[in-house]
């Protein structure tokens, strides 16, 4: 039953969540079920998500052990699962585009066939980066988007609730299931004033990271408002919403106002505009105020997006590489400021400069405004519109040298170089470093240059976003699977008790990139869990996978914020393949905790700060009566260390749904057993339009659920 909490004046976040609420109460910390309007996948997460969607539709074993379709599949068959059950969904090919061998092209071929067969759109390689393209062509104010990428939050720039999730959860959304979400607390960020010359939107989100670090936003949605918000373009808002997830936040969003309307008009989508904002007098759970005119250029120093300092605090350090672009700073104005700084000059002799536009539309604008020529003349290396060096796909920095990047993450080794020294900064600061060869506050360059205005009437060309064919044609499509495309691990019921050895003891802030590394070599195995598992935690221990096999699995032990960063569920799938049954940590990042549960791995939390310090690799831990505890709703479980007979408690706080999923052995097993039946259909954006605005899956009116 839907029971939104009455409020005298509602925030924009609560308005949208209330409109999409299917079950639960909007009380911070309580789990609710949401109706979803849009979903996105990308090629690095999409193949496994699609394989799991197929697996989800397979018969589950009956209690007697005989094959039986079960209520979930019977519901699929009754509806006719020949198309996804969502108004709008798309797969973007933007991560694994190097094609070093057959693996990436095979994934792309599989995804294109899957999209055509089941009714998703397919954005071809080189067409653009998913987050920027989605803001251009799909995102709509007031809607809910769930995407298999943590930076799905970028679309909050258009006043929509856009949330990153694991691939399996997105697969469930495509199959017609509601999206479960722990109700977030809302941080209202009032923006005042206007950005000064040389200070950019990147500095706004770096300021939030400077204040809160990489854990200070966990469980929160950041809602931006105030007079300063109206001064920011949609592309500037996208930068802030993209990187707000680095605080651990669920998402961020801006109001849908005249700047939003201006953007949608520019994209020939003005009919998608609706005005949305917090109601007057709305109160937030927590408040922040940022005076834009008092900000200065900031920079995140190596190792974490939360290590933020003023640029002048690290100025003068020698730079060997500068990379501009990626999903967070690849808009026209972002790249044009670099061109303007370098116009008539050349990049410093020891610096290699790369520039990555976010989409073909931006690339076209760069060419038409002569910005592209200015960059080339200055010595920039122009890359195709794809994620590229942001996820370690080429352009790794030289050993022990500084790389200044406008990207969103600088976790150790993410660049492709193990001992990298990556700094995160605005395009203006990056341009200053490219010109001078050292980290430089751009204000020291003098008066800010004028940039060429963007095209007043840009070319809108969606021919590289392929709509699905009609159902009768789609039914005949063969989905081709290359040899690297392998099914995910099977899910089996949780055992009565857990017993195993401590495989490794890890510090705070372990990222999903540590668990499933970035880079061209490893990411090529995203559709092959057995192969990618060999690289698990290799930054900390190259023998981890071999030891996990030899010991028959066991436990991972870690500090705070375990699983920060990307939504990649391979960070849970690979440990599951290696036999990991539970992770015991001081705290977990939101998406990764969810991914552990969906794959049947139990996330447990230390109750005593000293207990982690006593954990030793190789010790045998026994956690008794786990199944009974989950069945009864008990939160405290007891760990016994066999070697010393020491005992301590851990917490297992789960919603009733999470307990059921863990008992079943994972989300697929739970749904196959009838844990939840899909909704008959979702309401939302529908209709079919031609080039210029994008296609969505039409839903016959007589099939629309009136609930």
Which domains can be identified in the chain, with CATH numbers? 12-292+677-682 (3.30.499.10), 296-445 (3.30.499.10), 498-664 (3.20.19.10)
Quote the DSSP letter at residue 270.
G
pLDDT along the chain (707 residues), means of 10: 62 98 94 97 96 79 43 40 88 91 96 96 95 97 97 98 97 95 97 98 98 96 98 98 97 98 97 98 97 98 97 98 93 96 97 96 93 97 88 88 96 90 98 98 96 86 94 92 95 96 97 94 94 97 97 98 96 98 97 98 94 95 97 97 95 96 96 78 33 30 28
Integer Cα distance of 205 and 294 in angstroms: 14
CA count, 13 A, side-chain hemisphere, 32: 23
Q: Which of 162, 160, 121, 337 has its CA nearest to residue 254?
A: 160
pLDDT at 60: 55
Token reading at 386: 């794809």
Displacement of CA 380 from its chain's centroid (Å):
29
pLDDT at 5: 52
Residue 491 CB burial class (10 angstroms; 0-12, 13-18, ≥19): buried
pLDDT at 68: 44
Cα dihedral 648/654/660/664 (nearest 10): -50
Please tell me whether residue 438 adopts helix, strand or coil conformation.
strand
Q: Which of 134, 207, 685, 684 has its CA nearest to residue 462?
A: 134
Token reading at 70: 């079960």
Q: Are 128 and 484 in contact (CB under 8 A)?
A: no
| H or E element in which residue 620 lies | strand 620-623
Query: The pTM is what?
Result: 0.92
Phi and psi torsions of 583, nearest 5°: -120, 130
Buried (b) or exposed (e) across 148-178, using 16+ Cβ within 10 A?
bbbbbbbbbbbbbbbbbbbbbbbbbbbbbbb
Q: Are 615 and 505 in contact (CB under 8 A)?
A: yes
pLDDT at 392: 75
């Amino acid at each position: 039953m839907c029971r939104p909490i009455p409020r005298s004046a509602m925030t924009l976040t609560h308005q949208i969540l209330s409109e999409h609420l299917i079950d639960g109460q909007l009380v911070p910390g309580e789990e609710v079920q949401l109706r979803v309007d849009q979903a996105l996948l990308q090629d690095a997460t999409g193949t496994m998500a699609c394989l799991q969607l197929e697996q989800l539709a397979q018969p589950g074993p009956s209690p007697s052990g005989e094959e039986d379709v079960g209520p979930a599949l019977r519901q699929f068959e009754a509806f006719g699962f020949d198309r996804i059950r969502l108004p709008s969904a798309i797969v973007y090919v933007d991560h694994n585009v190097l094609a070093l061998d057959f693996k990436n092209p095979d994934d792309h071929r599989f995804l294109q066939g899957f999209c055509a067969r089941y009714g998703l759109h397919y954005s071809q390689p080189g067409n653009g980066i998913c987050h920027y393209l989605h803001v251009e062509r799909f995102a709509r104010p007031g809607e809910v988007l769930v995407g298999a990428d943590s930076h799905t939050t970028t679309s909050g720039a258009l006043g929509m609730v856009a949330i990153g999730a694991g691939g399996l959860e997105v697969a469930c959304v495509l199959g017609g299931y509601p999206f479960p979400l722990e109700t977030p607390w809302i941080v209202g960020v009032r923006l005042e004033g206007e950005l000064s010359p040389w200070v950019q939107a990147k500095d706004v989100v770096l300021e939030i990271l400077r204040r809160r670090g990489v854990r200070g936003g966990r469980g929160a949605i950041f809602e931006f408002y105030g007079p300063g918000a109206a001064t920011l373009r949609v592309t500037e808002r996208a930068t802030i919403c993209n990187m707000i997830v680095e605080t651990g936040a669920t998402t961020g969003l801006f109001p849908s106002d005249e700047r939003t309307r201006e953007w949608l008009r520019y994209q020939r989508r003005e009919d998608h505009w609706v005005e949305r904002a917090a109601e007057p007098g709305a109160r937030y759970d927590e408040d922040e105020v940022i005076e834009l005119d008092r900000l200065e250029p900031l920079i995140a120093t190596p190792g974490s997006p939360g290590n933020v300092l003023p640029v002048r605090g690290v100025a003068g350090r020698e730079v060997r590489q500068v990379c501009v672009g990626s999903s967070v700073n690849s808009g026209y104005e972002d790249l044009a400021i670099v061109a303007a700084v370098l116009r008539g000059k050349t990049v410093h002799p020891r610096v290699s400069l790369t520039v990555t536009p976010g989409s073909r539309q931006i690339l076209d604008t760069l060419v038409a405004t002569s910005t592209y020529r200015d960059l080339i003349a200055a010595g920039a290396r122009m890359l195709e519109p794809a994620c590229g060096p942001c996820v370690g796909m080429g352009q790794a920095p030289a050993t022990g040298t500084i790389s200044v990047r406008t990207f969103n993450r600088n976790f150790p080794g993410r660049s492709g170089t193990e001992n990298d020294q990556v700094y995160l900064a605005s395009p203006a600061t990056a341009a200053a470093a490219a010109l001078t060869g050292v980290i430089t506050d751009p204000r020291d360059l003098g008066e800010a240059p004028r940039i060429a205005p963007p095209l007043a009437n840009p070319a809108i060309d969606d021919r590289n976003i392929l709509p699905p064919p009609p159902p009768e044609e789609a039914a005949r499509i063969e989905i081709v699977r290359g040899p690297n495309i392998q099914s995910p691990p099977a899910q089996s019921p949780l055992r009565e008790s857990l017993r195993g050895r401590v495989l490794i003891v890890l510090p705070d802030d372990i990222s999903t990139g540590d668990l499933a590394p970035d880079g061209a070599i490893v990411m090529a195995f995203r559709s092959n869990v057995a192969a990618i598992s060999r690289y698990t935690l290799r930054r900390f221990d190259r023998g981890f996978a071999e030891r996990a096999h030899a010991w028959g699995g066991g436990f991972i032990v870690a500090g705070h914020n375990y699983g920060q960063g990307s939504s990649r569920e391979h960070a849970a799938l690979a440990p599951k393949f290696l036999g990991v049954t539970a992770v015991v940590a001081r705290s977990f990042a939101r998406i990764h905790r969810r991914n552990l549960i969906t794959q049947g791995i139990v996330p447990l939390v230390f109750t005593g700060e000293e207990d982690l310090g006593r954990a030793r690799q190789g010790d045998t831990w026994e956690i008794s009566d786990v199944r009974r505890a989950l069945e009864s709703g008990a939160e405290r479980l007891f760990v016994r260390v066999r070697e010393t007979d020491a005992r301590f408690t851990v917490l297992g706080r789960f919603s009733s749904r999470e307990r059921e999923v863990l008992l079943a052995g994972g989300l697929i097993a739970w749904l196959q057993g009838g844990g939840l039946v899909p909704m008959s259909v979702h309401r939302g954006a529908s209709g079919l339009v031609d080039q210029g605005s994008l296609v969505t899956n039409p839903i016959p009116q007589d099939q629309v659920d009136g609930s």
